[in-house]
Each structure stands twice: as C-alpha cells, then as structure tokens.
Amino acid sequence: MCSSCAPETANGTVNGTVNGTTTNGTTPNGTTPNGTANGTRQSRQPYQSVADAYSNTANFKIIESTLREGEQFANAFYDTETKIKIATALSDFGVEYIELTSPVASPQSRADCEAICKLGLKAKILTHVRCTMEDAKIAVATGVDGVDVVIGTSQILRDHSHHKSMAQITETAIEVVQYIKSQGVEVRFSSEDSFRSNLVDLLSLYQAVDKAGVNRVGIADTVGLATPRQVYKLVRTLRDVVSCDIETHFHNDTMCAVANAHAALEAGATHVDTSVLGIGERNGITPLGGLLARMIVESPEYVKSRYQLHKLKEIEDLVANTVQVNVPFNNPITGYSAFSHKAGIHAKAILNKPETYEILNPSDWGVKRWIHFSSRLTGWNAIKSRAEQLGLIINDEQAKQLTQKIKAMADVRPLAIDDTDSIIRSFCLEHVPEV
C-alpha cells in the first residue's frame, strides 16, 4: 500500500539500524616506564597499534589549548564571556587541562586568566609563559593550577629570537622550575622548535629540569615539519632520559599533527596538546576531535570513559561561530560528509552491518549516518530502505525496477531528495496494488 507516508528525516537520510560498535574487547595496555599502571591487554585487532611497555595510547591526558594556541588563530578574538563559555564547555567535555594565554600578554588576558581560575572547573587551569622569573611570578599570582614555560632551543631561534646560549637557557630553566614548584604549582618546561634543536643539547636540558623537579617536559613541533617516525624516535629516546611526564605539541603545516600525536603516545608521551578544530598559528595544531577519532579506534573504553563525546559537535560549533569559520566538510566525526555513504555497494553493506564501512560509530558521538539515495550511484537496498521510511512497502524486484528509473533520471540531472521521493511515490502508486 502506498497511502500513508511516515515522517521523513529532515536531511533526507536513511538512518539504518545503528547497532554497530567500534569496541573491540581490549583493555588498556601494560605499564609505562614512569610507573603508571594501565591494566592488561587481552586481545588485539589488526588496526590497533602494537602496545608495549612504553605505549600510553590507552592512558593519556589532553591539554586543551583553544584558549591559548587557538587565540593565535588569525580570526580569533575572545571576550571574557566567550572564554568562560569555552572553558566551561571543555571542562564539561572532560579534558584534563585547559591552557590559557599568558597573563603577561595584556591586562585583559591577566584578568581573564584570574576569572577562569575562580570558576572552580573540574579541568586544571594552566597558563603558558616565557621561561623568565618575571613571567613565572605573574603566572603563579593568577591562581592557576600549573604553569607551562617555554623557550626556543633551536639554533635558528637562539640566533634570531632570544640570543641565549644553551648554558644560559639551562640556568634560567632550573631557576624558574624550582620557583614555580616552590609555590605549590605544577610546572611544565618545553623547548620550542624541538625537532630542529640539537639532540644532545635538548636531552641535557630536559635531564637538568627533570632533576630540578619539573612535572612535565614538552616537545613541540613548532613549525610542523616532523613525521611520525621522527616523533616516535625522539619521544622514545627522551622517555629513557627523564622520569617526569612528557607533553607533546604538534603543528599541522604538513598534515601530520594527529599522526604525530599518536606516534608520541605510542613512544611513551603522556600528554597531548589540542585545540578545537585545530585552530592556532598558521593552520593550527592537533585537533581535539581528530585526536579522539584516532584514539577511540584502539582505546574505546578509555576514550569513552573520560570524554563526553556527544558534546563534541556543540563545542566545535561554539568555537567555529566564535572565530567565524565553517566546520570543514571533511572534518572527522562532525564534518558534513563524515558519515555519508553514497555508492550502492557501500549503502547495501552499511544498512546490513555498519562496521563494514565505518571504523567509527556515529552514535558514540551523538551524530547520524547519512545514506545518500538521490544519485546514479545509488543501489536498490538504499531505495528500498527509503521507501520504507516513507511508509511504502515494496518487494526486492520492485525496488530494483524503481532504482533503474531513479538512476536513469539521475544520469540526466542532479536529483534533489524531494525529486527522488516523488519518483518513489509515483512508482508505488503505479506498481503496488492497494491492499
């Protein structure tokens, strides 16, 4: 019968049964060299990374820097109210740390930093300053939980930015780290441009601040040149040299930021810097959503237990509106086409079992998959499913005939969803007898 039409979805999607799950029965891996117990791995899927004693892919923390690195994005301007909104949303989402612009940057930056510290958010609040005693004192006075200090260590930055020798850098770093620690505040020391720094210089410096009691050392690919293999090598080497945690910061100039963060965690890094939609200097850093898309595949229990994944879209929309950009169509998870399926062969399998063509489960993130049925690539399973959504029952043979008709029309011109629905309805009127 063709008479009664069920309510349609607004976007013309065929929402097949969302019964898939990307979970794979594994639990977090072994024990990290810095003594963090992670549990025991029970089984492994082929797409999981190889876990060893160094890997923290199921035991990492996010330092969310939309309010620091993200403020360096070309379009970014945050008033106090917006900063509070973003900080609150990120804390509710579950990120462990929120990093704020240096209070030394401007009087308003300092006031905002103090205001966010007073909110009593669940996430720890950090600010990011130069490695000087003056900056460190102002940072500590704002009431932050932690101070991230940074200084350039590559020859090019030493020659053209701050003109300090490695000996001077080390001396100041120890003094600043010890001061911040003495104030009962967490401290991270990071080099800038780590991948263009001399390895021996870098390791000696990290070793010195580790001995001085730093909580984390940071590796930063400030110019976005590193590859996952280079990252793995450097972090793994560093892991054997220091006992403190290791934070990592990857720029995305050559589109390796997510892969580099993943490689760093495999090699023993403990913290990853992210920003919402990856906004930051130039084309930004590791995006929060992209990192979690990567990590949920191999550590589903860990990721789902720590982060409110269904809030990701809301946070991305908030930040996109604030900095006046659109969420890219191919953004992981929330992009327009992230869960759209068009080819007939894909649609058929997805309707049958979503895991056939989806490594991520849209329902984990509170978003819907979209099966495209208005094109010449469509298959009869998608058309039959669409007819059912419209309250029209057809058999397989009829669905195949109807699909040929739709393909013929779609060969001539693009079809809107309404066009296809009209073809389906008139076919049913003609071919399906009233009961």
Catalytic residues: 346
Helical spans, DSSP H, in 268-336: 288-298, 300-306, 312-322
**Residue 15, Cβ neighbours under 10 Å: how many?**
15
Among 122, 260, 250, 258, smallest CA distance to 190 is for 250
Q: Which residues, numbered 69-98, are part of the site for Zn ion (CB under 5 A)?
A: 69
Is the dihedral angle over the CA atoms 286, 174, 100, 61 positive or is it negative?
A: positive
Per rule CB under 5 A, count of chain residues that contact Zn ion: 1
Q: Which residues, numbered 162-181, are part of the site for Zn ion (CB under 5 A)?
A: none
Which residue is at the shortest CB distance from Zn ion?
A: 69
Q: Which residues, numbered 45-74, are part of the site for Zn ion (CB under 5 A)?
A: 69
Residue 389: C-alpha distances to residues 2, 363, 434 (Å) = 12, 20, 18
Nearer to Zn ion, 275 or 381 (CB): 275
Least distance in angstroms from the C-beta of 122 to Zn ion: 25
Least distance in angstroms from the C-beta of 41 to Zn ion: 33
Burial of 35 (0-12, 13-18, 19+ CB in 10 A): exposed
Spatial distance between the Cα atoms of 114 and 275, rounded to a whole number of angstroms: 21
Nearer to Zn ion, 273 or 421 (CB): 273
Binding mask 12-51 for Zn ion (x = CB under 5 A): ----------------------------------------
Burial of 92 (0-12, 13-18, 19+ CB in 10 A): middle
Residue 167: C-alpha distances to residues 115, 129, 158, 170, 350 (Å) = 37, 20, 12, 5, 60
Nearer to Zn ion, 69 or 99 (CB): 69
Among 226, 290, 230, 233, smallest CA distance to 258 is for 290
Nearer to Zn ion, 128 or 306 (CB): 128
Nearer to Zn ion, 69 or 186 (CB): 69
Q: Which helix (H) or strand (E) holds 170?
A: helix 166-182
Least distance in angstroms from the C-beta of 39 to Zn ion: 33
Q: Which residues, numbered 231-260, are part of the site for Zn ion (CB under 5 A)?
A: none
Nearer to Zn ion, 60 or 250 (CB): 250
Q: Tell the residue number behind the tokens 């399926």, with chain if given.
A: 341
Nearer to Zn ion, 69 or 71 (CB): 69
Least distance in angstroms from the C-beta of 106 to Zn ion: 19
Least distance in angstroms from the C-beta of 247 to Zn ion: 12
Least distance in angstroms from the C-beta of 152 to Zn ion: 12
Spatial distance between the Cα atoms of 98 and 125, rounded to a whole number of angstroms: 5
Is 31 strand, coil or helix?
coil
- Residues 390, 421 contacting (CB under 8 angstroms): yes
- From first CA to last CA, the distance across the chain in angstroms is 6
Phi-psi region of 218 (alpha: psi -120 to 50; beta: other; left: phi over 0): beta
Nearer to Zn ion, 130 or 384 (CB): 130
Q: Tell the residue number behind the tokens 């403190």, with chain if given.
A: 244
Least distance in angstroms from the C-beta of 60 to Zn ion: 18
Least distance in angstroms from the C-beta of 385 to Zn ion: 46
Is 386 strand, coil or helix?
helix
Residues that bind Zn ion (CB under 5 A): 69
